[in-house]
Amino acid sequence: MAKLKQIIFDLDGTLIDSAPDLRAAMNVVLVELGRQPLDLKTVIGFIGNGVEKLVARSLAATGGAEAQLHPRALELFLQAYAKDKTTLTRPFPGVFECLDRLKEAGIPMGLCTNKPHGPANEICEVMGLDGYFGVISGALPDVPKKPDPAPLLAVIDALGGDPASTVYVGDSAVDYDTARAAQVPFRLYTQGYLNRPLPDLDPAHRFDDWAQVDFIPER
Ligand SMILES: O=C(O)COP(=O)(O)O
Ligand SMILES: [Mg+2]
């Protein structure tokens, strides 16, 4: 890898443990539709490809994802999540200390998430994460999502860097696929929402503790 110039993070399952609020909002929808609520582990398995997929997978798991039901379920989900985005959400241990170290080292940082752009920005603000990032990029309608490399490449560009000297830090196979497609070095946080094994990923490129990880060893 070229000398690290900038670092970009995924949000859900990487910096924040947001699944409990995603599950709560999803269960508001399911109960409203007369379906059974889902447990946390099941919902975690559905996170990573954006809210449209989360809703579709939750419908499929509770009686069927009829195409005509999806838009209404998505609208109900977004309403419920807008009301209650951070009540049960917490940063993973050591995240802020790590971001502080990188900020002190003068490393430009960005965020690239499949969470919708509005909620992603609001959550970062409420949780005090917004001050670390030069760019916060969330999902927008009709714009490709990860694993398409476009959103990650756009953040790299906006920060003024290039793929080879960037690290993308994520928790999912979607993030891994995105980094590969963008030819960006990748680090996996193993305590997030990984729902597909990544046998090709070098063990040295995985970490399970934000307090221990050193993204800039070549300093
Ligand atoms: O919204 C999702 O499905 C996942 O969001 P993430 O890209 O921050 O992990
Ligand atoms: Mg994630």
* Tens-digit pLDDT profile for residues 137-152: 999 988 999 999 999 9
Residues of the chain with pLDDT under 70: 1-2, 217-219
The number of beta carbons lying within 10 Å of the beta carbon of residue 210 is 21
φ and ψ of 138, to 5 deg: -115, 175
Q: Tell whether ligand 1 has an atom less than 6 A from the beta carbon of residue 48.
A: yes
Q: Tell whether ligand 1 has an atom less than 6 A from the beta carbon of residue 57.
A: no
Nearest to 140 by CA among 155, 107, 118: 118
Listed by start position, the domains of the chain span 6-17+90-207, 19-83
- The number of the ligand 1 atom at minimal distance from the alpha carbon of 53 is 3
- Cis upstream peptide for 147 (omega within 30°): yes
| Nearest alpha carbon, ligand 1 atom 4 | 48
CA distances from 133 to 25, 41, 56, 166, 210 (A): 27, 30, 31, 14, 17
Q: Give, in words, the CATH class of 19-83.
A: mainly alpha
pTM tops 0.95: yes
Q: How far is the CA of 219 from the centre of ligand 1 (A)?
A: 31
Lookup: tokens for 109: 């940082």
CATH 3.40.50.1000 for domain 6-17+90-207, yes or no, is yes
What gap in Å lies between CA 182 and CA 70, rounded to an integer? 31
Nearest to 16 by CA among 154, 193, 166, 212: 193
Do residues 176 and 170 touch, judged by C-beta distance below 8 A? yes
Torsion over CA: 183, 189, 192, 195 (sign) = positive
Q: Tell whether ligand 1 has an atom less than 6 A from the beta carbon of residue 52.
A: no
The number of beta carbons lying within 10 Å of the beta carbon of residue 141 is 7
Residue for token pair 């860097």: 161
Do residues 29 and 105 touch, judged by C-beta distance below 8 A? no
Residues annotated as catalytic (active site), given as ranges? 10
What gap in Å lies between CA 197 and CA 178, rounded to an integer? 15
Predicted local distance difference test score (pLDDT) of residue 1: 58
- The number of the ligand 1 atom at minimal distance from the alpha carbon of 22 is 1
pLDDT tens by residue, 20-44: 999 999 999 999 999 999 999 999 9
Q: Tell whether ligand 1 has an atom less than 6 A from the beta carbon of residue 147.
A: no
